[in-house]
Amino acid sequence: MTTDGIVIDEQTNTLTIARSYRAAVDRVWTAWTDPAAVARWWGPHGWTTTVEQMDVRPGGQWRFSMAPDDGSAGPIHIVATYGEVRPREQLSYVDRRATADWVATGEGMSTTVAFSARDTGTHVSITAVFADHDTLQQAVASGMGEGYQEALERLGTIL
């Protein structure tokens, strides 16, 4: 059985966030792959996301920036490169922080998003794999899991 929530696995250095929606897989998939839709929900409460590029295919890039609505910090730029793309089933990508001119920096984080049809709608499971235990702990301490949960909550409001 799959459940909603956050699971931190220190043995595999993974963070998994899951949520179920009363919406068809096609609709949820579109919300993850349409730039205008993603801009409406991606990121935690109180943040705005701007999608600069979204080329959902193996080797394609997703470039976006996120900034707090209160102006307390400048934008964070991210470049994600898609690996496996199976429509309405799975998206995999590696994302890295980037400079303002979209040059990726640092070590990437591998993320897989799985979409599963259920009798009552769609179950989404996001698994982020970190390079090591310290990187996982930094992500947990920064509130990454809660940020993902808030983003998935925001997604629910547009479905």
Question: Which two three-digit tokens encode residue 103?
Answer: 């040059």
Question: Closest Cα partner for 53 from 73, 38, 31?
Answer: 38
pLDDT of 41-76, one tens digit each? 999 999 999 999 999 999 999 999 999 999 999 999
Q: Is the pTM of this model over 0.85?
A: yes
CATH number at residue 46: 3.30.530.20
CA distance 62 to 91: 12
Q: How many domains, in total, are found in the chain?
A: 1
Q: Could you tell me the residue range of the domain that residue 141 belongs to? A: 5-158
pLDDT of 9-35, one tens digit each? 999 999 999 999 999 999 999 999 999
- 8 Å CB contact between 134 and 145: no
